[in-house]
A and B are shown apart, each in its own frame.
Chain A
Amino acid sequence: MISLKYDIPFIHSLLKEVKDPEIPVLNIADLGVLRDISEENGELVITITPTYTGCPAMDTIEADIKSVLNTHNIEAKIITSITPAWTTDWMSEEGKRKLENYGIAPPAEKTSDKSFLSGNSKPVRCPLCKSEDSVLLSQFGSTACKALYKCRNCQETFDYFKCI
């Protein structure tokens, strides 16, 4: 049996300390940004994927990964891969719960539903008052991954994490 140099589950738990810079309640595992931790020729290789092609948080996330590993004297090669393409389907249920508690409505459906693009999408629940009587204000919100909604019940606006 070949023994590995690195304790992968331990590394995984370390990397869960790396948060999304924009949505600090989510870590990169919740988001599905962390794709793989493996050992290749004695080298630790970590694969991450950007949510959107232009996501400006990726440099920060890479730096944070290096930093967290550094505190344990671990070095790694970090690879950014765009395939398979990131999808909100990879967001964990816990991640969705954390999002809603933070005040951002999580993706309402699976991308296989496709209804989100035709306009016949599932109603989006207001993260504040939980009413489903909400209306889309704009397809684009404070970051590339979010849209802007307004709740007709409590009158507050909120961000919605778009299905992609």
Chain B
Amino acid sequence: MKDERKTKAQLLAELQALRQSEEQYRQLFESANDAIVIFTLQGIVTSVNGGLEVMLGWSREELIGQHYRKFVPPASVVLGEERTRRFLTGDRLPSIFAAEMMHKDGSVVPVEARTRPIRDNEGKPVAIQGIYRDITARKQAEEALRESEQRYRGLVESQQDLIVRVDPQGRFTFVNDAYGKKFAKQREELIGKTFMPLVHEDDLAATFAVMKGLEVPPYRVSLEQRALTAEGWRWLAWEDYAIRDEHGQTLEIQAVGRDITDRKQAQAEREKLQEQLFQARKLEALGTLAGGVAHDFNNILSAIMGFTELATDEVPEGTLARRNLEEVLKASRRAKALVQQILTFSRPSQQKHQSPQPQLIVEEVLTFLRASLPPTIELRQHLDQTAGPVAINASQLQQVLTNLCANAIQALGERGGVMEIRLQQTDLDDLARARENLNPGLYMKLTVRDTGCGMAPMIQERIFEPFFTTRPVGEGNGLGLAIVHGIVTGCGGEITVASAPGEGTTFEVYLPIGDSEVAAAPGLHPSSPPAEAPGGDEKGALSDATHFSH
């Protein structure tokens, strides 16, 4: 009996200790920042700490006696009930799990939860204690990081650029899709392994040399190399960057590469064109030089050849001196041919039956003419800068313009007047083409107009006839306009004349524009007279214009 009954003092001491313990617990319970809830196995809240009140905005009076679903969203309720069930069946559970609770204002608070059963003396669960930590901030940070990583990954993966990272031993730690595709390798084949695509042997030395730059500030290098990719040899441009730790050790090397094959090709082509242009300019300069020298050179040659020829008269045949003089002449002829060659060689446009910029030729002729015109004649010119290339070679165009101008000057005579030259690109309308017997397309139209005496219809009809001339005997040979006609029609063009006595004359020359390999007459042959007799004009032409078809 004595053992069963504790003394009053003992009981008091135990009670005191219990109260102290409870007090300590209560203080801990209240002062904890985390939210603490104690609820029955059925989920009814029996106790709530200040931390919970702060976290969820509820006061304890509102929650005690309520089921915890009042402040826990359904999914977490399910979770909680599952856990309680398993506590009861004696399962071991991880003490920490993620869950959600609801603030009084309805917002969700993500929490890290620790729940454990409170057991009685026999170890049977009688209640559940839950400690909950608000992880909103952490979750937000995690979310931000995930988003950022996704964006980065999205960027990296959608890049055409090749992005890789390797460790200091050259093993891949990161490879983007583009790189894998470029070298036809799967990511798995590369990560953790070293792989060096085949680099062109000419670029190897440069590549290694440049990599040394990663060991010194700014720890960045750029290089270009040819590498063998899945599509064959390509030019790649790399930007490499050494990622270093706080001790200056290289952790990783990041490399971003770009296929610059197209750019390199364009560059090579541009260089080729520049070279061609340079050569063409050299040739042109040579031509100009040759042209400048030729005149004087030919004068000198004239003296050499001329005097030598005269000297051979004084020296009897069969003598050594005579033979030597013959040699001098032979050499002079060779010199003459050489100068000719240089001149022709440096004037390539002369050999083609095409003038790419006819307006330049016209300008040159007119400049020359202007200097030798009498003051009574006013020369007007309107040259379209876009005309060309025209299917006529330079010297032929020169001849045509010269002859037409000579004709105009002669028509203007003593009284003078206006001589007008026009050069334009024109697309003849159907009617005009039919009249002129020409093929469809673009034409260069050269107009030479004078305000001179004009021509009567009878004269107009014959104007292109060889040897037909209105000039007095001894003046002119009547071939000028015939030559023009021959050249123009030989190039696939046409020439028309419109005139009236006292009202001046207008010649219009149409020449095809384009790359046509028109069978242009290599020389001028006035022996090709107009095929139709004058007056055989069946096309109902206007009375003041006639034309001859060839």
Q: Are these two chains actual partners, yes or no?
A: no
Q: Footprint of B on A, CB under 8 Å?
A: none
Q: Footprint of A on B, CB under 8 Å?
A: none
